[in-house]
Amino acid sequence: MAGIQEYDLIVIGGGPAGYAGAIRAGQLGKKVACIEMERAGGTCLNWGCIPTKALLKSAELYQKIKHADVYGLGVKEVSFDFAKVIERSRGVSNQMARGIEFLFRKNKVDYLVGRATINAAGMVSITEGGHKGRFFKTKNILVATGCKMRRIPGLEYDGVKVMTSREALAGKSMPGSVIVVGAGAIGVEFAYFYNALGAKVTLVEMLPRILPVEDEEISKTLTRALVKQGIDIHTDTTCENFRVGKNGVKVDLVMGNPAMAKDDGVAELAKTTVEAEVLLSAIGVVANIDGVFAPALKPELDRNYLKVGEDYQTSIKGIYGAGDIIGPPWLAHVATFEAVSAVNGMFGHGAPKRVKVFPGCTYCQPQVSSTGLTEKAAKEKGLDVKVGKFPFTASGKAVASAESEGFVKVISDAKTGEIYGAHIIGSEATELIAEYGLAVEMEATVDEIHQTIHAHPTLSEAVMEAAAATLGEAIHI
């Protein structure tokens, strides 16, 4: 083994799980290397959550300026430069990636760009890139290779007429019309973005509602809001017969569930054809696991995701997994938590903790956020619950800001008041959800939230008043 560099931990993947795990191990004084095939920050920072938020902020600001008269302001003309919008988004990503690289240096993490393969427990090699051919010995390995966008079978992705969110983040020109397939968070955010900048947007979802993981009432409210904004939404709809031509894409939309229709004796489901300059596919993600393990090394998998135990260790001793590669919910903040917890555990700094409570956020306008159980899930569990709601139309700050769309909804135990979940749609929902995340984690009650004084006037008062509404004591205007 002479000449082979040795580490306490090698992290494969430099996204939110990978860089967080590597930095945490560095903070613990361990000798660490992080091997990333593209750039520090992974998909989230370079091609996902960070650059999309920059785009969405531009779209939100553009819409506010267009409607400045609401605030008593006069703006004669407003326009946008799509290339500069994209350029700003890429600049934000580059700045944040440099920040991660700085943190690697600060915490003495060796950062290597290349594709890594685990040859055996405790042995890693780089198979592609400038460091190709290097071998490393390590006491522990953390796999944090994340996911990549799922693609529609049989459809050729050219990155111009047919693309995923990654290609959209490097778009050269603003399309006049877009078909977005998939209405999870990514699909909804891009539908909002393109529509806000003036494109004709068709949003298609095969399930009965958009944002299907969210509370039903939230999904319905968002649907109404997006339709009002001009987005054409088709739910319970599948796509067939994609045709990519010189000027764009055509696709047949089939409304309803084919299997159920057959059972009900329906001869043919309703169909329509839509066309647009661009089709954006946002139908989910798949595990990015190809080539991570040598052929002879076979860790236990679950639907192609790494299967891990409570300590994040795979079926192979000394090899751990964290983040999207171990399965849903596929969220950057969850990935970071998992990686830090795994590293703390492997080096004896507290017992590892698996994620049970986390916030889910969608950054369209109005924003959507949630934590814990939905009303439906709580009732399906047989829980006796109370529901408290408070509309932003009754919030002085929201009305003064001309952002009174939406509400806060809290689910709690009917007897004890313990908070099981919370759901928000409205301005700054993704910021407001943190208080309820802490409440669920701490097993707090609606009365404890209600009795905590919130500054007036603030949007956060709606969080307090939703809890008060559960008790029949909501007051604020």
Give the H/E segment covering residue 413: strand 407-413
The residues, ordered by sequence, that sit 6+ positions from 357 with a Cβ below 8 Å of its Cβ are 371, 372, 437, 440, 441
CA distances from 246 to 57, 165, 249, 277 (A): 32, 21, 8, 9
Helix (H, G, I), strand (E, B), or coil: what is residue 237? strand
DSSP letters spanning 355-408: ----EEEE-SSSEEEEEE--HHHHHHTT--EEEEEEEGGG-HHHHHTT----EE
The residues, ordered by sequence, that sit 6+ positions from 328 with a Cβ below 8 Å of its Cβ are none
Give the end-to-end CA distance of the chain in Å, rounded to a whole number. Answer: 72
Residue pair 134/119 in contact (Cβ under 8 Å)? The answer is: no
456 is known as an active-site residue: yes
- Report the C-alpha gap between 236 and 420 in whole angstroms: 29
Residue pair 331/16 in contact (Cβ under 8 Å)? The answer is: no
Residue 15 β-bridge partners? none
- Report the C-alpha gap between 124 and 460 in whole angstroms: 49
Alpha-carbon torsion (214, 219, 222, 227), positive or negative: positive
Residue in 43, 44, 330, 281 with CA at minimum distance from that of residue 164: 281
- Report the C-alpha gap between 52 and 190 in whole angstroms: 8
Tokens of 462: 């709606």
Which one is catalytic: 234, 333, 423, 456? 456
- Report the C-alpha gap between 364 and 145 in whole angstroms: 27
Q: What are the residue numbers of the active site?
A: 456
